[in-house]
Amino acid sequence: MFQMFQRRALSKGTLLLTIALSLGLSGCQSSGSPSAGTASSGPSASSTASASPGASASSAPGASESPSAAPSEQPGDGGGASASPVPAGTPAPSVSMGTVTALRLADAKSGWAGGEGWIARTDNGGSDWTVQHSGSFTVKQLFALNGDKVWATLDAGGGKGLRLIGSADGGKHWNSIGTVPNEGFLHFTSDRTAFSGNAMTTDGGKTWTKLGVPDGVVGDVYFHDANNGWAVQEAKGEYRFLHSSDKGRTWQTVMKRTSEVSPLGSVIRSTGKNDAWIEVVGGSGMTQTSYALFHTSDGGKSWLPAIVKHGAGSGPAPGFSMEDGKYPSGTGAGPGDLYVVNPQTAIIGGQCQACDKPNTIAETTDGGKSWAASKSEFAGYGDQFIAATDAQHIWLVATDAAEPSVLYTTSDGGKSWKKARTFAKPGA
């Protein structure tokens, strides 16, 4: 530039044109400065979604590939479409945290939420969030062993299973690990061992093997560990609860119940090898869905009918008649999300699509013998997501197709609730 000014042969017009072009180029460069966009979506989020180029796949739980062995999982890479590393300190593109599709807690203040194209973390109870990963994917599930080790499954389309990514530093860096072969409930029991439906991995998710599944299963089987699995089986005029203690090679009937209606689905959760919560879903009609929730704490020797929900439009709960009214009936007109903390503590949501505020929630702290229903009701006609660390600290996300997802939190077991975060409106 200074050399241009020193050239006496330049005419006045040429000089003015040169200065104008230089100013134009300078303006283009300044618009791409780090201040132009940050990865933080919360007003007080302090970290960015940058990733060090030296982060290898071995930093993710169970992953041992070199950085060149798998697509880059840096923020803004289109969900792994680009393998180019992002230098440390480079801000990720601004990401709209829209409809929530997954929720997981590390402790009473920290956790992750995911949605269509983003994963974010909070460390102050859900008020502020930092986007840690972005791309062209939808987060299907989040699972964390603690505040550092967290995994996510991503639906990139194409029907080829769910991509599995993981982080060993609380979500600051994410790495591609493998593909989960089904959409069962993903849960890790260690850095290397995890289960999803009838699939098991012992190398952190890089490869999966199938475990045995009995015929006539309704819904997904659930393996608490390599030996102990649970399943719901439909038979003529009845349904059965099955248990396996040998990796699915053999299954024993631990409960069977005559039923007027055939179960249409099931949800199974477990917090110990002798503990199982099994929800059997029945018919639907007039915005109602019937279901029955059972609990065992002795390996299936005895079962408690914890919730029995009938409906005038949906009919009796599977395994019961409309006259069976001695059991707790839960909240809402049908089941919401189910979250189990331990053999004594479980939280279940209720939903009522014909109500002004469709979302309700109830909790048990005595293994399902009794339930305390929160007096609060929450708007939102979409999916419901529940997470908890103990009986007192519970988070609920209510979603809607047209309105923003909203996070509500309680620290007193549901007696009072705080609106912690309103996410971006769908399509914003």
For residue 21, what is the enclosing H or E element?
helix 12-30
What is the per-residue pLDDT across 76-87, written as a single tens digit (0 to 9) for each?
A: 233 332 222 233
Residue 21 pLDDT > 80, yes or no?
no
Query: Can you read off the two tokens belonging to residue 164?
Result: 């599995």
Say if residues 83 and 71 touch (Cβ distance below 8 Å): yes
What is the per-residue pLDDT across 271-280, written as a single tens digit (0 to 9) for each?
A: 999 999 999 9
Percentage of the chain beyond pLDDT 70 is 78
Query: Can you read off the two tokens belonging to residue 325?
Result: 């009214």
Summary mean pLDDT of the chain = 83
Q: Where are the domains of the chain?
A: 56-88+98-191, 192-414
Write down the CATH number for the domain with range 192-414: 2.130.10.10
Say if residues 325 and 306 touch (Cβ distance below 8 Å): no
**What is the torsional sign of CA 155, 157, 163, 167?**
negative
What is the per-residue pLDDT across 131-170, written as a single tens digit (0 to 9) for each?
A: 999 998 999 999 999 999 999 999 977 777 799 999 999 9
